[in-house]
Chains A and B, each alone.
Chain A
Amino acid sequence: MELCLFLGCNTPAIRPDVERAIRASMPILGIDLVDADNYVCCPAFGAFPSTDSDSWLATSGWNLSIAEEKGRDIVVQCGSCYSSLRMGREHLMHDAEKRTRVNELLEPTGRTMTGKSKVRHVSEVLYKEIGPETIANHISKTLQGLHGVVQYPCHTLFPSEVVGFEESARAPKGMRQLVEALGATVDSYSRELQCCGGAGGFMKSTPEQAIEFAKTKFDAILEETKADFIAVSCITCLMHMENVQNTLNKRVGEERYKIPVFDYNQLLALCLGFDPKQVASICNVPRDSVISRLVSVNPNEYKGPLRRDRKPAAETEVV
Chain B
Amino acid sequence: MDLQGSIKDLWKAIYNTGDLHHCFNCSTCLSGCPASHGDPPLLVRNLARMVILGLEEELLNDDTPWACVSCSKCEEMCPMDVKPFEMILAIRQWQSANDETRVPPSIVEIYKRGYTQAVGVNTELRESLGLPELNTITKNPEQLQMFREILMKTPVVSANDYMFGG
Q: What is the bound-complex CA distance between A10 and B115, given in angstroms?
A: 9
A210 to nearest B CB, angstroms?
Answer: 7
**Other-chain residue from B37, B115, B117, B135 in contact with A213 (beta carbon distance below 8 A):** B37
Residues of A within 8 A of B58 (CB): none
Check A45–B34 contact: CB distance below 8 A: no
Asked if A257 lies at the interface with its beta carbon under 8 angstroms from chain B, I say no
Q: A10-B117, A55-B107 are in contact. Are A202 and B35 (CB under 8 A)?
A: yes
Check B73–A47 contact: CB distance below 8 A: no
Asked if A198 lies at the interface with its beta carbon under 8 angstroms from chain B, I say yes
Q: A52-B154, A109-B149 are in contact. Are A197 and B34 (CB under 8 A)?
A: yes
B160 to nearest A CB, angstroms?
Answer: 9
Check B156–A55 contact: CB distance below 8 A: yes
**Other-chain residue from A12, A41, A105 in contact with B153 (beta carbon distance below 8 A):** A105
Number of B residues with CB within 8 Å of any CB on chain A: 60
Q: What is the bound-complex CA distance between A23 and B136, given in angstroms?
A: 17
Residues of A within 8 A of B67 (CB): 200-202, 205-206
| Most chain A beta-carbon contacts within 10 A, residue among B71, B85, B135, B136 | B71
Check B143–A20 contact: CB distance below 8 A: no
Asked if A209 lies at the interface with its beta carbon under 8 angstroms from chain B, I say yes
Check B76–A169 contact: CB distance below 8 A: yes
Check B76–A159 contact: CB distance below 8 A: yes
Residues of A within 8 A of B9 (CB): none
Q: Give B121's nearest chain A residue, CB to CB.
A: A13
Check B76–A157 contact: CB distance below 8 A: yes
Residues of A within 8 A of B147 (CB): 40, 62, 109
Check B32–A38 contact: CB distance below 8 A: no
Residues of B within 8 A of A189 (CB): none
Asked if A31 lies at the interface with its beta carbon under 8 angstroms from chain B, I say no
Check B154–A54 contact: CB distance below 8 A: yes
Q: What is the bound-complex CA distance between A177 and B70, given in angstroms?
A: 26
Mark interface residues in A36-55 (1 if CB within 8 Å of B CB, else 0).
Answer: 01111101111111111111
8 A Cβ contacts from B13-60 to A: 32, 34-35, 37-39, 42
Residues of A within 8 A of B61 (CB): none
Asked if B104 lies at the interface with its beta carbon under 8 angstroms from chain A, I say yes
Asked if A281 lies at the interface with its beta carbon under 8 angstroms from chain B, I say yes
State the main secondary structure of chain A at its contact with B.
helix
Asked if A182 lies at the interface with its beta carbon under 8 angstroms from chain B, I say no
Asked if A284 lies at the interface with its beta carbon under 8 angstroms from chain B, I say no
Asked if B119 lies at the interface with its beta carbon under 8 angstroms from chain A, I say yes
Check B32–A194 contact: CB distance below 8 A: yes
8 A Cβ contacts from A92-145 to B: 105-106, 108-109
Residues of B within 8 A of A55 (CB): 107, 151, 154-157
8 A Cβ contacts from A258-300 to B: 278, 281
8 A Cβ contacts from A191-220 to B: 193-195, 197-202, 205-206, 208-210, 212-213
Check B72–A159 contact: CB distance below 8 A: yes
Check A206–B38 contact: CB distance below 8 A: yes
Mark interface residues in A233-258 (1 if CB within 8 Å of B CB, else 0).
Answer: 00000000000000000000000000
Q: A105-B154, A109-B146, A209-B39 are in contact. Are A197 and B69 (CB under 8 A)?
A: yes
Interface of B with A (CB < 8 Å)? 32, 34-35, 37-39, 42, 63, 66-73, 75-76, 83, 85, 89, 92-93, 96-97, 103-104, 106-107, 110, 114-122, 125-126, 129-131, 134-137, 140, 143, 146-147, 149-151, 153-157
- The 10 lowest CB-CB distance pairs between A and B, nearest first, are A154-B71, A55-B154, A51-B156, A50-B92, A200-B69, A13-B117, A159-B75, A9-B117, A206-B38, A158-B76
Q: List 22 A-B contacts (CB under 8 A).
A: A9-B116, A9-B119, A14-B117, A16-B125, A16-B126, A17-B129, A51-B97, A51-B107, A52-B97, A54-B153, A109-B147, A154-B69, A155-B71, A169-B76, A193-B32, A197-B69, A201-B35, A206-B35, A209-B37, A210-B37, A210-B38, A213-B34
